[in-house]
A and B are shown apart, each in its own frame.
Chain A
């Protein structure tokens, strides 16, 4: 796959605090990803045993471990990379599903909404870089085998969406914990300052 370039032409359209936006967005996307994964399974005629056996398989597009503990820019870069991967994955899944479903099928709409959300998050990640005067590094998407058989297409989509839901779950959980940690640290600092300001007390 060719590396994806992104440039920060202008930050004018970016929100003031893109990181907050990203956090809020990921919270929404976490739920959306979970629902989509379940809905996908139901619409594909896949049984629970299919999922356990065939879908629950790690695909290479998602980072291993948590990305939140990394420095902010690294974290954003990792997130950016994942979302670029998901952007392309959604493109493929939607194409496959258009062959299998009616044009106005609910699943196609859900896929479209999730795809738009990924694009929105990508945009905000670029903004997060942009407000810091940087831009995300070009990423190389791991190549996936071209699948022509419908069953395998379904399974591939299932795998990606399951991994995506897991990733978003881990991400939001880490962000939440990280936020709590930051708050505790800030509170500790304030109390320390107070103690220093009034040693007699």
Chain B
């Protein structure tokens, strides 16, 4: 049971609650009307609702909560709060919602409630837009159809089977079987990429009854269009205008979904162009329209495709963008040889546009000239006078025009008009030069001419008129005419002064003449010379040419330098260059200059067209290394070698001025020659280098050689261009100096032999006068010729000389004079050199030498006395102590006596040598008269003092002959050093 207090409290609460509820109900405005529809293409739900009129009248500030649900299960997929202030005008209320899922794929329901002052109204009932997934249609469906989506977005589609059909597979890039077949399948492709043109195909196949078991759609993936670029607008005729822009990379969706452009003018509020499609093959889009009277525009150009649009604003003033038409009908009117009047027509003819035109003149020399016209109207015939044209020249004219006011751009060039101006007299002057060659009775003058800068032929059939007149005698001037393109001729003049003039002539007239004066000369000085020496000064070439300097003189008003481009040819292509009076040098740059060719330059001073030779120069544009000298070894001794290249030419046959010679020496012992410098060749070899700076000094002796050493030698001539690399060398071997050690020995023998001979003569004299020794046959002593037994005359050359043999093995080894390395020629030279080998002066003709008997290899002592009185009873040869043995010592008999007849017989000598071959001692063999008394030579002790000599035959002579071959034949058999002089 409830007590009184409790009852009162309950009643109070109920009253309070009722009051609160009543208050609230009076401020809630529930949705009174709700309608839901759909836009399938946009996949958009359109929601329309309203609340009571009182809410509108009270202009309530309200919040609506809107819920969207999918499928019959009313799964809420979207909730949104919609704030608004109600008014009498905004009724009913609208809201839309874009669905990712095509609205046909499922039923979509919407409900709304409102809130005022934090009090929510109750929810409205669900309003549903049915999906096609519940239809009774037998045909399968797919949604969306031909959908355009932005690259990278997600794409959701659904396949709905016909009645009693279930989705079996979904085919996108491959076939996806459906694991749980349903009538409706929804799939989402994430981050779609740009695909095939015309759209990517997506399809579903179905199982179940129905005449169609597949359905498909196309997915077009693209991008927003780019902003239009490179927009420009212009007019050509002021009647129509056009705007052009670049579509660029605006081709993101193919075919029917290409971007479209729209050009809207804000002034006229008109869209001038729309539905201009871009395409990959059409880079530029064009919009054109008729201007009428509107001259200014304020445009918005919009590019739009299914995904969106982009716009650009710009203004356009027609008068500032006039691009005139190409001028036409260009023709000419000749006024003179250097003037022509050009006419042309322009567009538009029916409307006058002020234009300025530019005329281009393309000349044959590829120079281009421009002329500007005054302001011309497009509807008139315009013309312009062109002056200063080159006569008889082809000119190509063309014209273009632009707006005179607010120039925008030139029109295209008109077609070319090619004209040839009329002929006129040649203008400018010729440059005349000459080369004088003395001939019998006068001078040949070869005239050369060329066109000076500025010379113009101005016509056809140019000829050169040459006139020359004698300045000292009154004679009729002579004249010849040379047709172009000849530029030289030869005339013959006498020794007087002559004036020669030349003019160029065409059909119209002649040019002004050019003159030169040839000074008078005599028979003797007809040739142009500087002085008696006529010396040519050397000049050096540079990379830029050859500088020619001269000593200027005040008397001249100009200078001329001439030269031949091809000095070794005829004609030599004479060239000349003039320079002013205040110059003292000129740079000659000829393309024809060839390195290594010597050019001759002549410098003339000129006054009043009369030229005088001042200087002569020679030079090379570039010097090259010269040819190698032909070097011979002219002397070879143990410590030096002499070289010569006398025949080497230093003239212009060389590719440079020969400045000297470098002598290169190389041995294994390195470079330690006194006076030489070390030179490292490009190949890395080190040479000793001597330099001769006189080109005419063509001999050189390399000294301080090490005996018995091999050397390589090379001689190189050098010019300003250097020298050639060392490729060919001579090999030589320095002689062994042991030969030289014998020189004192040999020189010591000579006085000894002389003394011996004197002693012998003295002994004979004593015999003759003191001991009644019978005298030899005077017939024999008389030297009318040698008579042998048969009385035939014995010639000197037939003599077999006496021989002196050195018997010493050790000494023979040292005697390199006869070494095998010595050439045969050198041996002969050494032997026949009388200053070297004639030990006894041959003052008397009684003793003669058979120097040709080289094979004898002996020192011959030939005595006709002995030959004629070959006494059979003569004693055998005795040894004569020489050299090391001061005391006379008995020697064994080594040599059998020979009769004179046998001696003269060459063959008979051989056994004699053979007989000695077994001896090891070095033997000097001499054939001398043997005293008939039989006195042994060794019995005659001869001191070195001549006065002590016992006898001397003044008719004796000593001739030597040396052969290393013989030395070898007579190989020493004795190690003794005793020298033996065997007298026969």
**Complex Cα spacing A99 to B277, Å:** 12
Interface of chain B residues 137 through 158 with chain A (CB within 8 A): 145-146
Interface of chain B residues 252 through 302 with chain A (CB within 8 A): 254-256, 279-281
* Identity of the chain B residue whose Cβ is nearest the Cβ of A149 in the assembled complex: B145
Are B216 and A102 in contact, with the CB atoms below 8 A?
no
**Complex Cα spacing A54 to B280, Å:** 31
**Complex Cα spacing A154 to B219, Å:** 13
Q: Which residues of B have CB within 8 Å of A45?
A: 195-201, 218
Partner of A50, one of B145, B197, B198, B201: B201
Partner of A47, one of B145, B171, B254: B171
**Complex Cα spacing A45 to B254, Å:** 13
Interface of chain A residues 84 through 139 with chain B (CB within 8 A): 97-105
Nearest chain A CB to B341 CB, angstrom units: 50
Are B203 and A44 in contact, with the CB atoms below 8 A?
no
* Identity of the chain A residue whose Cβ is nearest the Cβ of B170 in the assembled complex: A49
Given contacts A49-B175, A53-B205, A154-B201, contact A102 B218 (CB under 8 A): no
Are A44 and B281 in contact, with the CB atoms below 8 A?
no
Nearest chain B CB to A141 CB, angstrom units: 22
Is residue B214 contacting chain A, with contact meaning CB distance below 8 A?
Answer: yes
Are B281 and A155 in contact, with the CB atoms below 8 A?
no
Q: Is the interface of A mostly helix, strand, loop or mixed?
A: helix
Partner of A102, one of B146, B196, B281: B281
Are B256 and A100 in contact, with the CB atoms below 8 A?
yes
Nearest chain A CB to B812 CB, angstrom units: 106
**Complex Cα spacing A50 to B769, Å:** 157
Q: Mark B176-215, 1 if CB is under 8 A from A, else 0.
A: 0000000000000000000111111111010000000010
Partner of A154, one of B145, B173, B175, B218: B218
**Complex Cα spacing A44 to B196, Å:** 7
Q: Which residues of B have CB within 8 Å of A97?
A: 198
Given contacts A47-B201, A99-B256, A151-B217, contact A53 B171 (CB under 8 A): yes
Partner of A43, one of B145, B146, B198: B198
Are B171 and A150 in contact, with the CB atoms below 8 A?
no
Are B146 and A150 in contact, with the CB atoms below 8 A?
yes
Are B254 and A50 in contact, with the CB atoms below 8 A?
no
Are A100 and B216 in contact, with the CB atoms below 8 A?
no
Is residue A69 contacting chain B, with contact meaning CB distance below 8 A?
Answer: no
Q: Mark A146-157, 1 if CB is under 8 A from B, else 0.
A: 000111101100
**Complex Cα spacing A50 to B205, Å:** 10
Q: Which residues of B have CB within 8 Å of A98?
A: 255
Interface of chain B residues 216 through 257 with chain A (CB within 8 A): 216-218, 251, 254-256
* Identity of the chain A residue whose Cβ is nearest the Cβ of B205 in the assembled complex: A53
**Complex Cα spacing A118 to B594, Å:** 75
Q: Which residues of B have CB within 8 Å of A54?
A: 203, 214, 216
Is residue B174 contacting chain A, with contact meaning CB distance below 8 A?
Answer: yes
Given contacts A45-B196, A99-B255, A149-B145, contact A50 B279 (CB under 8 A): no
Is residue A73 contacting chain B, with contact meaning CB distance below 8 A?
Answer: no
Partner of A49, one of B174, B196, B251: B174
- State how many residues of chain A have any CB contact under 8 Å with chain B: 24
Partner of A150, one of B169, B173, B199: B199
**Complex Cα spacing A98 to B281, Å:** 14
- State how many residues of chain B have any CB contact under 8 Å with chain A: 29
Are B175 and A53 in contact, with the CB atoms below 8 A?
yes
**Complex Cα spacing A20 to B199, Å:** 42
Given contacts A44-B196, A47-B173, contact A102 B279 (CB under 8 A): yes
* Identity of the chain B residue whose Cβ is nearest the Cβ of A105 in the assembled complex: B197
Partner of B216, one of A43, A101, A104, A152: A152
Are A151 and B201 in contact, with the CB atoms below 8 A?
yes
**Complex Cα spacing A53 to B174, Å:** 12
Nearest chain A CB to B211 CB, angstrom units: 11
**Complex Cα spacing A100 to B148, Å:** 13
Q: Which residues of A have CB within 8 Å of B196?
A: 43-45
Is residue A11 contacting chain B, with contact meaning CB distance below 8 A?
Answer: no
Q: Which residues of B have CB within 8 Å of A99?
A: 255-256
Nearest chain A CB to B171 CB, angstrom units: 5
Nearest chain B CB to A48 CB, angstrom units: 8
Are A101 and B203 in contact, with the CB atoms below 8 A?
no
Q: Which residues of A have CB within 8 Å of B145?
A: 149, 151
Is residue A59 contacting chain B, with contact meaning CB distance below 8 A?
Answer: no
Is residue A46 contacting chain B, with contact meaning CB distance below 8 A?
Answer: yes
Q: Which residues of A have CB within 8 Å of B203?
A: 50, 53-54, 151
Are B255 and A102 in contact, with the CB atoms below 8 A?
yes
Q: Which residues of B have CB within 8 Å of A47?
A: 171-175, 201
Given contacts A45-B200, A50-B171, contact A103 B218 (CB under 8 A): no
Are B146 and A149 in contact, with the CB atoms below 8 A?
yes
Q: Which residues of A have CB within 8 Å of B173?
A: 47
Are A100 and B198 in contact, with the CB atoms below 8 A?
yes
Partner of B254, one of A53, A102, A152, A155: A102
Q: Mark B155-172, 1 if CB is under 8 A from A, else 0.
A: 000000000000001011
Q: Which residues of A have CB within 8 Å of B280?
A: 102, 104
Q: Which residues of B have CB within 8 Å of A46?
A: 201
Q: Which residues of A have CB within 8 Å of B172?
A: 47
Q: Mark B45-89, 1 if CB is under 8 A from A, else 0.
A: 000000000000000000000000000000000000000000000
* Identity of the chain A residue whose Cβ is nearest the Cβ of B258 in the assembled complex: A102
Q: Which residues of A have CB within 8 Å of B216?
A: 50, 54, 151-152, 155
User: Which one of B171, B173, B202, B254 has the highest number of Cβ atoms from chain A below 10 Å of its Cβ?
Assistant: B171
* Identity of the chain A residue whose Cβ is nearest the Cβ of B196 in the assembled complex: A45
Nearest chain B CB to A194 CB, angstrom units: 62
User: Which one of A98, A99, A100, A149 has the highest number of Cβ atoms from chain B below 10 Å of its Cβ?
Assistant: A100
Are A44 and B171 in contact, with the CB atoms below 8 A?
no
Are B171 and A100 in contact, with the CB atoms below 8 A?
no
Nearest chain B CB to A19 CB, angstrom units: 40
* Identity of the chain B residue whose Cβ is nearest the Cβ of A152 in the assembled complex: B216
Q: Mark B586-620, 1 if CB is under 8 A from A, else 0.
A: 00000000000000000000000000000000000
Nearest chain B CB to A56 CB, angstrom units: 12
Nearest chain B CB to A147 CB, angstrom units: 11
Partner of A151, one of B175, B205, B218, B251: B218
**Complex Cα spacing A50 to B169, Å:** 11
Are B198 and A154 in contact, with the CB atoms below 8 A?
yes
**Complex Cα spacing A43 to B196, Å:** 7
**Complex Cα spacing A152 to B212, Å:** 12
* Identity of the chain A residue whose Cβ is nearest the Cβ of B195 in the assembled complex: A45
Partner of B198, one of A44, A53, A104, A155: A44
Q: Mark A29-55, 1 if CB is under 8 A from B, else 0.
A: 000000000000001111101100110
Are A102 and B197 in contact, with the CB atoms below 8 A?
yes
Q: Which residues of B have CB within 8 Å of A103?
A: 279, 281
Q: Which residues of B have CB within 8 Å of A44?
A: 196, 198, 201
User: Which one of B198, B205, B214, B279 has the highest number of Cβ atoms from chain A below 10 Å of its Cβ?
Assistant: B198
Q: Mark A3-30, 1 if CB is under 8 A from B, else 0.
A: 0000000000000000000000000000
Nearest chain A CB to B666 CB, angstrom units: 79
Nearest chain A CB to B122 CB, angstrom units: 45
Top 5 A-B pairs, shortest CB-CB distance: A45-B196, A100-B198, A49-B175, A151-B216, A100-B255
- 13 more contacts with CB within 8 A, not counting A53-B169, A100-B199, are A45-B201, A49-B174, A50-B201, A53-B203, A53-B214, A97-B198, A100-B254, A100-B255, A102-B254, A103-B281, A151-B146, A151-B199, A151-B218
Q: Can you list 15 A-B pairs with a CB-CB distance of less than 8 A? A: A43-B196, A44-B196, A45-B198, A50-B171, A99-B255, A100-B199, A101-B198, A102-B197, A149-B217, A150-B199, A151-B145, A151-B199, A154-B198, A154-B218, A155-B216
